[in-house]
């Protein structure tokens, strides 16, 4: 992973234990049945170019100010294995129904999936079943990872925002977009929730991060995202740009 790896968020101090949004904004915990872990680790993962790294560092600072202990970790679980298995499984599924799907997507709208299928060939049933086992391994690894660090902070996109339609323009554009959103791909394959939240504007372009949580713990992702959102404030332009 280029330029940095995962980092962890830990709320407040002491041993892990549930807390709430109020825990992030005050030093007082609110009991066992609330949304956020007080004193619990969370990881920061920041591969990519400088703007993406800066966006993640900004969000990490906001969360740290609110009581999270933010720690960087070397990598996320089974990153490469998840990307490979996802690509082969999803292209196999598209391949089975491609004529019908292509009609729905329409001319031009089918280019991204068509280019993806050209890069990753469908597999047969025995290999698909093996990949289903790989997915279970990935999900188990992520469950163990997030049991120690209940939240993961990382980029949504690891390069600066690109022009619309780049992903379907040509092979280079397709590769750029696909690789830039790889953390989204991995977490989707792992079956864990995530919230995207803006952290500001750089050179006239929006910058954002994502906060990933344990399976079925969307509440923790939303509560942490609310902390960042409160620090950033509204980003709606006063005078719309042409």
In tens, the pLDDT along 132-168 reads 999 999 999 999 999 988 999 999 998 888 999 999 9
Domain count, the chain: 1
Residue 242 lies in a domain: no
Which CATH number does the domain housing residue 175 bear?
A: 3.90.1300.10
Pick the closest to residue 7 from 226, 178, 162, 155 (CA basis).
155
Whether the Cβ atoms of residue 142 and residue 82 lie closer than 8 Å to each other = no
> What are the angstrom distances between the C-alpha of 58 and each of 72, 101, 144, 183, 206?
14, 40, 27, 18, 13
Residue 30 sits at φ, ψ, to 5 deg, of -125, 20
Task: List the single range of 91-100, 169-178, 201-210 with lowest mean pLDDT.
Answer: 201-210
**What tokens does 47 get?**
């591969």
Question: Of the ranges 68-77, 126-135, 172-181, which one carries the lowest mean pLDDT score?
Answer: 68-77
Is 239 part of a structural domain of the chain?
A: no
Confirm whether 75 is domain-assigned. yes
The half-sphere exposure of 99 on its side-chain side, counting CA atoms within 13 A, is 0
Residue 134 falls inside a structural domain: yes
What one-character DSSP code corresponds to residue 68?
A: B
Give the pLDDT confidence of 3-60 residue by residue, as tens digits.
334 455 544 333 333 322 222 222 222 233 344 434 445 566 665 557 888 999 999 9
What does the mean pLDDT of the chain come to? 81
Q: Domain for residue 238, yes or no?
A: no
Residue 73 lies in a domain: yes
240 lies in some domain: no
Where helices occur in 17-49 by DSSP H, the ranges are 21-25
Between residues 9 and 123, the one the model is more confident about? 123
Q: Is residue 237 part of a domain?
A: no
- Higher-confidence residue of 222 and 6: namely 222
* CA dist., res. 166 & res. 155, Å (int): 19
More confident residue, 34 or 127: 127
Distances in Å between the Cα of 222 and the Cα atoms of 12, 59, 91, 102 are 18, 14, 31, 35
pLDDT for the residue 146 = 95
Domain that holds residue 192: 7-232
The 10s digit of each residue's pLDDT in 53-89 is 899 999 999 999 998 988 888 789 999 999 999 999 9
Residue 224's pLDDT band (boundaries 50, 70, 90)?
very high
Angle subtended at Cα 204 by Cα 202 and Cα 207, rounded to the nearest 5 degrees = 40
The whole-angstrom separation of Cα 42 and Cα 211 is: 10
Q: What local confidence, expressed as pLDDT, does residue 191 receive?
A: 97
Q: Give the global pTM.
A: 0.79
Contacts of 33 (CB under 8 A, 6+ apart): 18
Q: Which pLDDT does position 27 carry in this prediction? A: 25
Query: Does residue 234 have a pLDDT over 50?
Result: yes
pLDDT score for 202: 84
């Amino acid at each position: 992973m280029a330029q940095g790896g995962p980092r962890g968020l830990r709320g407040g101090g002491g041993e892990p234990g549930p807390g709430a949004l109020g825990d992030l904004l005050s030093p007082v915990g609110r009991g066992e049945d609330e949304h956020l872990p007080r004193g619990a680790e969370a990881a920061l993962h920041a591969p990519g170019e400088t703007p993406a790294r800066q966006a993640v560092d900004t969000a990490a600072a906001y969360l740290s100010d609110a009581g999270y202990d933010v720690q960087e970790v070397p990598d996320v679980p089974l990153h490469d294995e998840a990307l490979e298995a996802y690509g082969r499984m999803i292209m196999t599924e598209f391949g089975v129904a491609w004529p019908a799907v292509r009609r729905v997507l329409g001319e031009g709208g089918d280019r991204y999936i068509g280019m993806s299928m050209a890069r990753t060939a469908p597999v047969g049933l025995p290999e698909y079943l093996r990949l289903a086992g790989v997915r279970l391994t990935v999900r188990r690894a992520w469950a163990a990872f997030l049991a120690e660090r209940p939240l993961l902070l990382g980029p949504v996109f690891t390069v600066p925002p690109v022009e619309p339609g780049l992903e379907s323009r040509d092979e280079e554009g397709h590769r750029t977009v696909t690789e830039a959103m790889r953390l989204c791909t991995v977490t989707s394959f792992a079956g864990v929730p995530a919230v995207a939240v803006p952290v500001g504007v750089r050179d006239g372009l929006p910058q954002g991060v994502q906060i990933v949580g344990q399976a079925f713990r969307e509440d923790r992702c939303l509560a942490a995202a609310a902390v960042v959102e409160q620090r950033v404030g509204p980003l709606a332009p006063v005078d719309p740009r042409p």
